[in-house]
């Protein structure tokens, strides 16, 4: 299964922490609605009934990519357009073209608005909420009021209210021949200008334009911030299955808006020209390759043997309680055949021992002879120094030295050597690790076992547990969950 990540706006398109003002979440919603980004305006202008144009942010330089007359013709030919900006569309010289506001009869002044005291989203920020207008009867396909229906200013579900961030004043200055202009929403009561604190009860937030009996449709919003990452309303919520919930209706409004813009045409809209602050963005989402399977831990043979024995012992005990092995042998051979083979094997063993005893009886030891090689070998230490010390530790019931050597051998490869002050280097743990405290304490305990000068006791029955913990910690380090940092003086 392919994993998709939000696409950044940088040239490298690297995965990164999303900025508050970015459009990555909005563009990911376009991707989820099966809209493909295009790089050239002609890729949508030549196919209006299957295309969409999205212009957000500063529209004063958008004419360098696509001018207002092209937008107007695109809409009349069945295209779909979204313009969201809180910057004035009253373009001044030296802009060489007629502004898009004059083509569509919509004025955005650029004077920003704030909520009344105690009435804003995430107080005390004073971000105004949106107030849907009354919806009169509508003919000609899906109603544009579907985008704001139920998102009331004072509805019972506060999480569904659309929140803005310093929107602008907007008004309809004149109807456009051939287009139906419909004001959809204004602002919550008490919204006022930021500069003079005067209320603006008639200012609009959303206006739709449609052509009768034609799939062309357009929506203009007086605030681009409803679509930025930081205003989508996501918040962590462990009480729901998804792990997150919403404290506003911006994410739902985003999806409703895209659905309405995609509608109207008999052919599905699959192309999208996305212009942000005058720049074409041609990436909505990027594929992230599946991470490689974690490597099999390189466990020592004795650890594997102990794990196998510990897991098999309960199975063998249960089989013995059920007399499984005896019944299996009896079913294979039968009692008479077993007895016959028992006596044959016993006879052969006795013959072998008898022959060896007779052969040894022919050899007589000299009275003054030294110890035999067998006796000398029995008195000599077996194995190297390390093996002898390990055997001695097992005899006294403390495997501290062996455990310390194993930890140092593994941690030295990760840069875990003590610093100049003989202390453990910093432990860096990824921010999205849920059991970070437990992981940190485990690394600290293992480091103390390997490098601390004060010996401790590691009983033989604790040896397997210590090795398993060590290999789990090393496996998580290979996944990138944690690492040793550099101790900066």
In the chain, the percentage of residues whose pLDDT exceeds 70 is: 79
pLDDT band at 44 (very low <50, low <70, confident <90, very high): very high
Tokens representing 428?
């860096």
In the chain, the percentage of residues whose pLDDT exceeds 90 is: 25
Residue 42 has pLDDT above 70, yes or no: yes
pLDDT band at 1 (very low <50, low <70, confident <90, very high): very low
| Residue 81, strand partner residues | 53, 218
Phi (first) and psi of residue 307, to 5 degrees: -60, -45
Cβ–Cβ < 8 Å for 446, 471 = no
Cβ–Cβ < 8 Å for 409, 417 = no
Map residue 66 onto helix, strand or coil. Answer: coil
Rounded to an integer, what distance in angstroms lies between the CA atom of residue 48 and that of residue 261?
12
Q: Burial level of 398, CB count in 10 A (0-12/13-18/19+)? A: middle
The predicted structure's pLDDT at residue 412: 85
The predicted structure's pLDDT at residue 106: 93
Q: What's 135's DSSP letter?
A: -
**pTM for the full model?**
0.57
Residue 479 has pLDDT above 80, yes or no: yes
Closest CA to 198 of 130, 125, 114: 114
Q: What's 440's DSSP letter?
A: H
Whole-number average pLDDT of the chain: 80
- The CA–CA distances, whole Å, from 426 to 52, 295, 409, 484 equal 52, 25, 18, 6
- Which tens digits make up the pLDDT trace of 350-401? 999 888 888 876 665 554 445 566 655 555 555 555 555 555 555 555 777 8
Rounded to an integer, what distance in angstroms lies between the CA atom of residue 276 and that of residue 278?
5
Residue 156 has pLDDT above 90, yes or no: no
- Domain ranges for the chain, please list them: 3-288, 301-314+382-489
Tokens representing 370?
């030294």
The predicted structure's pLDDT at residue 97: 47
- Which tens digits make up the pLDDT trace of 263-289? 888 889 999 999 999 899 998 887 655
Q: Which residue has the tokens 């459009």?
A: 23
Q: Name the H helices within 322-435.
A: 324-333, 335-361, 373-379, 385-396, 400-412
Of 195-204, 319-328, 431-440, where does mean pLDDT reach its minimum? 319-328
Cβ–Cβ < 8 Å for 425, 487 = yes
Rounded to an integer, what distance in angstroms lies between the CA atom of residue 330 and that of residue 301?
35
Rounded to an integer, what distance in angstroms lies between the CA atom of residue 124 and that of residue 268?
43
Rounded to an integer, what distance in angstroms lies between the CA atom of residue 467 and that of residue 469?
5
């Amino acid at each position: 299964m392919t994993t998709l990540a939000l696409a950044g706006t940088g040239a490298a398109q690297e995965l990164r922490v999303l900025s508050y003002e970015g459009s990555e979440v909005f563009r990911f919603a376009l991707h989820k609605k099966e809209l493909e980004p295009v790089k050239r305006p002609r890729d949508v202008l030549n196919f209006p009934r299957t295309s969409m144009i999205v212009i957000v942010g500063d529209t004063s330089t958008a004419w360098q990519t696509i001018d207002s007359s092209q937008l107007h013709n695109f809409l009349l030919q069945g295209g779909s357009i979204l313009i969201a900006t809180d910057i004035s569309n009253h373009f001044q010289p030296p802009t060489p073209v007629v502004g898009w506001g004059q083509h569509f009869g919509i004025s955005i002044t650029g004077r920003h608005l704030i909520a009344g005291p105690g009435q804003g989203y995430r107080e005390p920020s004073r971000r105004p909420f949106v107030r849907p207008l009354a919806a009169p009867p509508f003919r000609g396909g899906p109603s544009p009021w579907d985008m704001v229906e139920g998102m009331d200013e004072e509805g019972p579900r506060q999480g569904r209210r659309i929140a803005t961030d310093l929107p602008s004043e907007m008004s309809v200055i004149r109807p456009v021949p051939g287009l139906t202009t419909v004001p959809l929403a204004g602002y919550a009561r008490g919204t006022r200008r930021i500069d003079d604190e005067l209320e603006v009860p008639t200012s609009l937030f959303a206006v739709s334009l449609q052509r009768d009996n034609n799939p062309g449709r357009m929506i203009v919003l007086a605030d681009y911030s409803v679509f930025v990452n930081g205003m989508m309303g996501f918040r962590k919520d462990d009480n729901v299955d998804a792990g997150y919930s919403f404290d506003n209706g911006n994410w739902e409004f985003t999806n409703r808006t895209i659905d309405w813009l995609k509608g109207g045409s008999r052919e599905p809209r699959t192309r999208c020209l996305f212009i942000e602050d005058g720049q074409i963005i041609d990436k909505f989402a990027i594929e992230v390759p599946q991470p490689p399977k974690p490597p099999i831990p390189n466990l020592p043979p004795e650890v594997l043997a102990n794990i196998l024995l510990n897991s098999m012992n309960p199975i063998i005990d249960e089989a013995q309680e059920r007399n499984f092995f005896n019944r299996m042998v009896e079913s294979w051979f039968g009692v008479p055949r077993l007895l016959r083979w028992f006596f044959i094997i016993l006879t052969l063993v006795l013959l072998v021992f008898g022959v060896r005893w007779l052969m040894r009886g022919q050899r007589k030891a000299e009275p003054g002879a030294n110890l035999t090689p067998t006796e000398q070998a029995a008195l000599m230490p077996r194995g190297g120094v390390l093996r002898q010390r390990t055997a001695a530790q097992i005899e006294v019931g403390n495997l501290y030295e062996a455990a310390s050597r194993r930890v140092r051998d593994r941690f030295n490869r990760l840069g875990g050597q003590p610093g100049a002050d003989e202390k453990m280097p910093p432990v860096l743990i990824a921010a999205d690790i849920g059991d970070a405290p437990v992981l940190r304490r485990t690394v600290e305990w293992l480091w103390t076992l390997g490098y601390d000068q004060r010996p401790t006791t590691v009983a033989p029955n604790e040896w397997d547990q210590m090795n398993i913990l060590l290999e789990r910690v090393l496996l998580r380090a290979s996944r990138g969950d944690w690492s040793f940092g550099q101790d900066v003086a």
